A = this chain, B = another copy of it.
Amino acid sequence: MSVVGDSVREVDETSRTRRIATDYVDSLEQRAWPRLTALLADDVVYEMPQSRERIRGRSAFVQFNAEYPGDWHLQVRRVVADGRLAALWLDVRVAAERQDACVWLEVSEQGLINWVTDYWPEPYDPPPGREHLVERW
């Protein structure tokens, strides 16, 4: 029975993480700052490895989002949750511009987001030498 018990607990934890990850994006999209605040651990760490930037703490992180310029909109394309880890693939629009983002987050045992890492991959031209295998869109 312990295997079944572990499996059910694992699915429950994963379901919670999946819901929190989706709520996180929705609270950003809605500019629902109290709702975002309630999802975050007090000592949440937010990282953007491409620019080597880090924000520490819930209030700075909420402020960062509240001050983020532009009429930006977020939509979840895929969410993958696994225990207390999640990965989000986002469709981000700012006015007529569109970009994908990859977001990694971790939920604490208490059910609060304690770590978020964003990647903002930019378009680039393909290097030469693989045209024989590749189609473009």
Interface size of A in residues (CB-CB distance below 8 Å): 49
Contact partner of A50 (CB less than 8 A), chosen from B63, B124, B135, is B124
Complex Cα distance A70/B125, Å?
A: 18
Contact partner of A10 (CB less than 8 A), chosen from B11, B49, B61, B87, is B11
- Which residues from 73 to 90 on chain A have a C-beta closer than 8 Å to any C-beta of chain B? 78-82, 85-87, 89
- Do A121 and B102 touch (CB < 8 A)? yes
Contact partner of A134 (CB less than 8 A), chosen from B55, B102, B136, is B55
Copies in the complex: 2
- Do B121 and A54 touch (CB < 8 A)? no
Chain B's closest residue to A59 (CB) is: B133
Across the interface, which residues of B come within 8 angstroms of A102, CB to CB?
87, 102, 119, 121
- Which residues from 94 to 137 on chain A have a C-beta closer than 8 Å to any C-beta of chain B? 100, 102, 104, 119-126, 129-130, 133-137
The list of the 8 closest CB pairs from A to B, nearest first, reads A87-B87, A102-B102, A121-B121, A51-B126, A119-B121, A80-B82, A7-B11, A80-B87
A residues contacting B by CB (< 8 A) are 4, 7-8, 10-11, 14, 18, 48-56, 60-61, 63-64, 67, 69, 78-82, 85-87, 89, 100, 102, 104, 119-126, 129-130, 133-137
